[in-house]
């Protein structure tokens, strides 16, 4: 199974959650709401989950083995960093454009 696309759906500036991501596999299956978290001096991902009646959470989808989890986590975090830089450049350009109008 190959990761064929990673889209950062939303960036967050505050708190440990830094982004919400969608990942496409084999151009055939999309997994939404993967979260990029920064805590304890490192980035990691949290798979989509739902809340159980007892207040605990259960993953809706998740990697079965450690090697694929590592591959997925590395790909998502790398894409997050690349798209974060592009997002920040877009924000700077928008700011520069709006400042030029004043």
CATH number of domain containing 38: 3.30.1120.40
Contact status, residue 17 vs residue 37, Cβ threshold 8 Å: yes
When divided into structural domains, the chain yields a total of 1
**Residue-number span of the structural domain to which 46 is assigned:** 3-101
Q: Is residue 78 within a helix (H) or strand (E), and if so which, with residue range? A: helix 66-101
pLDDT digits (tens, 9 = 90+) for 9-41: 999 999 999 999 999 999 999 999 999 999 999
pLDDT band at 46 (very low <50, low <70, confident <90, very high): very high
| Percentage, residues of the chain above pLDDT 70 | 96
| C-alpha–C-alpha distance, residues 22 and 30, integer Å | 7
pLDDT score for 101: 65
pTM of the predicted structure, to 2 decimals: 0.85
For residues 24 and 93, the answer to whether their CB atoms sit within 8 Å is no
């Amino acid at each position: 199974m190959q990761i064929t696309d990673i889209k950062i759906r939303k960036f967050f500036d505050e708190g440990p959650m830094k982004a919400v991501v969608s990942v496409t596999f084999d151009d055939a299956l999309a997994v939404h709401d993967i979260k990029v978290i920064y805590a304890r001096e490192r980035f990691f991902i949290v798979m989509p989950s739902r809340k159980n009646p007892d207040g605990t959470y259960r993953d809706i989808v998740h990697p079965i083995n450690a090697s694929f989890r590592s591959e997925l986590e590395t790909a998502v975090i790398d894409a997050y960093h690349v798209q974060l830089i592009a997002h920040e450049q877009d924000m700077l350009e928008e700011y520069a454009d709006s400042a030029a109008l004043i």
